[in-house]
Chain A
Amino acid sequence: MNRRDKINIPSHFVLLTLLIFCIALLFFSYATGFSGGPLQTVADYVFKPMQQGLNTAGEALLHSSENRKSRKELMVENEQLKNKVTELESRLANVQLKDSELKRLEGLYKLDRSYSDYDMTGARIIAKGTSNWFHTFTINKGSKDGIKRNMNVLAGDGLCGVVTTVGSNYAVVRSVIADDTNISAMIVSTEDNCIVSGDLKRMNESNMIDFSSLSDSKDKVKEGDAVVTSNISSKYLPGILIGYVSSCKADTNQLTKSGTITPVVDFSHLTDVLVITQLKETGESPESKGVSKE
């Protein structure tokens, strides 16, 4: 028994050591942007495959309940779909004609900068964020697939988030609706700049995000106006749709306006996203930027 007593370390000593370790880690990660290092390798080979497998299993379960449609229903649906295919095919031919014409005209006007031209790669969401306080998720592609920090992530038509941490096989994305997101944005109709920020409270209450600091002296911004990322943003590529203005009112200073935006992305049903493999060029090194201002 004496031997154990000798080796026994007092627990307040353990606490102090771990406390110093944690605080040192916090300072270190604040100063250098460290996010895991060797631990990320563990995550790559141990957790990521498990999460991916479980996620596939979960999706299969969800789909199998949808699979039980009767034969009659399927026949009817098949017939309807066949009709629709022929209809769409004819429309497609029409659109292709128009598209080629549009491309030709865009070429003439040098307007080919819409975000359909960015290089993108598809990714699958393998894990959701772990707390009720922030909206983050993990995707199944990482630095091996060319994903880098600060790349923009799209879902469907709109901006979904930005990559914050990259492992070799996975990446963590902070979504637009997360409470600590701030985006420099622009109202399409008037080209006025504003700041779009996620807010947990607003999101919980009404599924919306906030905008503020909009200078709209002519009162032209109205409900339903599209909001896109602005070209002065340091992280986000210009012209990506964020959402539509749903309310707008003057601030107490009578100079700026603020209000709410309905995001275009349905964040509760996300499964696949697109990552734009192109970083915004701002002429300054990414490390010199502040953490909160994006």
Chain B
Amino acid sequence: MKALYHVLKALTIGLALFLCYILQTSIMSWFTLAGVVPNVLLIFTGMLGFMRGRKVGALAGLCSGLLLDLFSANLFGMYALIYMLLGYLNGFFRKIYFGDSLRLPVILVATTDLIYGFMIYCSLFLSRGRIGLSYYFLHVMVPEMVYTVVLSLVFYFPMYHMNQFLDRLEKRRDRGRA
């Protein structure tokens, strides 16, 4: 029973990750606004973090990061590290997440995206001597954040229902044991 629960949970999250990834790499580039694309995988990682906790958040972040690394030209493992940390950080907010309002998800996604921007800037731009943070902040990070937050409103509901489904699974497992 326990093994089945874990398999079902991993399958659900894996499927969601797969869909988000396909969306990010193949579809989002058609919806470029002001030169930026929204960061679907970041929404996925962050939401899973504050809905399911630190461990799931970190693991989901690691998996999304590894997938991104596959199709990026940077050092392999860079995105995995960044996304893993972001998923873990979001996990701290599980305690105050009750699923009753959109305020917390929106604030968290916005903050996560900004932190992501700073991390990428520091690790991949500043290290090559590209200074001028204010430019990158205004022209890359903020537009991406706004677009990602808008999209996160759409993504919140499927993610919310997935979370409910996982909760029901967990309850059934606990009942089965008792």
Residues of A within 8 A of B (CB): 3, 9, 11, 14-15, 18-19, 21-23, 25-26, 28-30, 34-36, 39-40, 43, 46-47, 50-51, 54-55, 58, 126-134, 136, 138, 164-165, 167, 172-174, 178-180, 200-201, 204, 292
- B35 pairs with A132, CB closer than 8 A: yes
Tell me whether A29 and B125 are in contact in the complex, defined as CB-CB below 8 angstroms, given that A11-B91, A39-B66, A47-B21 are known contacts: no
B160 at the interface (CB under 8 A from A): no
Given A128-B37, A180-B74, 9 other A-B contacts at CB below 8 A?
Answer: A19-B85, A26-B77, A35-B69, A58-B30, A127-B25, A132-B144, A136-B72, A136-B73, A165-B70
CB distance from B152 to the nearest CB of A (A): 16
Once the chains bind, are A134 and B78 in contact (CB under 8 Å)?
Answer: no
Give B1-55 interface residues, CB cut-off 8 Å to A: 18, 21-22, 24-27, 29-30, 35-37, 39, 41, 53-55
Q: Is the CB of A11 within 8 A of B25?
A: no
CB distance from B65 to the nearest CB of A (A): 8
Map CB proximity to A onto B56-100 as digits: 1 under 8 Å, 0 otherwise: 001100100111111111111110110011001001000000000
With A29-B75, A34-B76, A132-B35: A22-B26 Cβ-Cβ less than 8 Å: no
Does A58 contact B73, Cβ atoms closer than 8 Å?
Answer: no
- Give the dominant DSSP class at B's interface: helix
A164 and B130 within 8 A (CB): no
How many angstroms from the CA of A180 to the CA of B24 in the assembled complex? 22
In the assembled complex, 19 residue pairs joining A and B whose CB atoms fall closer than 8 Å, in A order, are: A11-B53, A11-B88, A15-B88, A22-B84, A54-B26, A58-B27, A58-B30, A127-B29, A127-B71, A130-B25, A132-B143, A132-B144, A133-B125, A133-B140, A134-B74, A136-B71, A180-B73, A200-B130, A201-B135
Query: Given the known A-B contacts A25-B76, A26-B81, A58-B30, are A130 and B54 also in contact in the complex, defined by CB atoms under 8 Å?
Result: no
Q: Are B132 and A201 in contact (CB under 8 A)?
A: yes
Whether, in the assembled complex, B161 has its beta carbon less than 8 Å from a beta carbon of chain A, the answer is no
Which residues does chain A contribute within 8 Å of B72, judged by CB atoms? 129-131, 134, 136, 172
Decide yes or no: A54 and B73 within 8 Å by CB, A22-B81, A132-B36 being known contacts.
Answer: no
Give the CA-CA distance A204 to B137 in the complex, in Å.
13
Could you tell me the distance in whole angstroms from the C-beta of A24 to the nearest C-beta in chain B? 8
Looking at the assembled complex, report how far the CB atom of B38 sits from the nearest CB atom of chain A, in whole angstroms.
9
Q: Which of A18, A47, A204 contacts B84 (CB 8 A)?
A: A18
Are A130 and B68 CB-contacts (below 8 A) given A29-B75, A51-B22? yes
Tell me whether A51 and B140 are in contact in the complex, defined as CB-CB below 8 angstroms, given that A36-B70, A40-B70 are known contacts.
no
A58: chain B residues at CB < 8 Å are: 26-27, 30
B71 touches A138 (CB 8 A): yes
Partner of B22, one of A39, A54, A133, A164: A54
Whether A47 contacts B22 in the complex (CB less than 8 A), given A9-B55, A19-B84, A26-B81, comes out as: yes
Is B171 part of the contact surface with A, judged by Cβ < 8 Å?
Answer: no
Q: Does B124 contact A (CB under 8 A)?
A: yes
- For B73, the chain A residues whose CB sits under 8 A away are 134, 136, 164-165, 172-174, 178, 180
- Among A21, A29, A128, A180, the residue within 8 A (CB) of B128 is A180
Partner of B54, one of A15, A126, A174: A15
Q: Could you say which residues of chain B place their CB within 8 Å of the CB of A46?
A: 18
A26 with B75, Cβ < 8 A, contacts A132-B140, A133-B140, A179-B125 known: yes
